Amino acid sequence: MELPPLMRIPAEVRLMILEYLFDDGGHKQLQIRNAGAGKLPRTENRRRKRFYTLERTFQRRCYETTYRLETEGVNFCASVMRVNKTIYEETTYLLYGRHTFDFGDAIEAVEPFLSDLTPQSRGLIREISLYKRGPVPPYDNDRGEWQSVCRFLENNGSVRKLRLVVQGGRPITTWEGPKEFTAADLKLLFDLKHESLNWVGELARIRGIEELEILPDVQYCPPPSSTNMIIFAALSASIERGLTEFMRTQLCLPL
């Protein structure tokens, strides 16, 4: 059987054509988010996994959603991927092997998104970005979702670089108690199984991470009025130093 014209041209030239059809607009980081409430796509050529999540509002309504690509200015001709096996392999690398996938605080979308991929495509994703919400009110605790995503990545991920944005709070006035934790302080809290560091233990289950980038997202908050809030304030002040060092130790990464 005679090969179609696209398959007869040199692979290097074909790759140039495919790069044109998979134009990321210069975005090496692709944002994956949840579709809003009531905004599920009506029709899809390939059905995406759906899941339930809570609104980030005071109402806290639960609604069915799915993941979506939120990055603007990209144009991916996904239908080309169905031409044949060779084209599929070449385009999956362009799509999954060349980009970081940023899930932000939509961490419940990680498992459905990765589960919808073939093992080969999933194995091409080497870098993801996640947002870790604060462990106390009013920071919308994500304990259950965080545990689920870490355990899924433990068994199904191939992530080598993790970019983690950690939410913190800076009290508007000074407070009584510790102002910042060292890595040794955090190790003690962790060994005592303090709930503020449970998420670090879940993260440490993910093996194979070779590079860790931690960024703070610190917002002003009321003065601490409880032990947990005092610990949260001190932990927030430690993100760039003590927490980063402690987490690198837990993941067996060089300091």
Last residue of a domain, one of 74, 96, 118: 96
Model confidence at 7, in pLDDT bands (50, 70, 90)? confident
Categorise residue 140: left if φ over 0, alpha if ψ from -120 to 50, beta otherwise.
Answer: left
Q: Name the packing angle between helices 85-92 and 11-21 (round to 10°).
A: 60
Could you identify the residue written with the tokens 């044949």?
84
Report if residue 90 sits inside a domain.
yes
Number of C-beta neighbours around residue 38 at 10 A? 8
* Residue 20 pLDDT: 93
Based on the structure, what is the number of domains in the chain?
A: 2
First to last CA, the chain: 58
Report if residue 120 sits inside a domain.
no
Tell whether 89 and 136 lie within a shared domain: no
pTM comes to 0.91
Tell whether 75 and 158 lie within a shared domain: no
* Residue 37 pLDDT: 77
Tell whether 132 and 254 lie within a shared domain: yes
User: Domain containing 72: what range?
Assistant: 1-96
Report if residue 71 sits inside a domain.
yes
* Residue 62 pLDDT: 87
* Residue 144 pLDDT: 86
Report if residue 109 sits inside a domain.
no
Tell whether 137 and 36 lie within a shared domain: no
Alpha carbon distance 106, 108 (integer Å): 5
- Whether the pLDDT of residue 141 is over 80: the answer is no
Report if residue 110 sits inside a domain.
no
Report if residue 182 sits inside a domain.
yes
**134: helix, coil or strand?**
coil
Report if residue 27 sits inside a domain.
yes
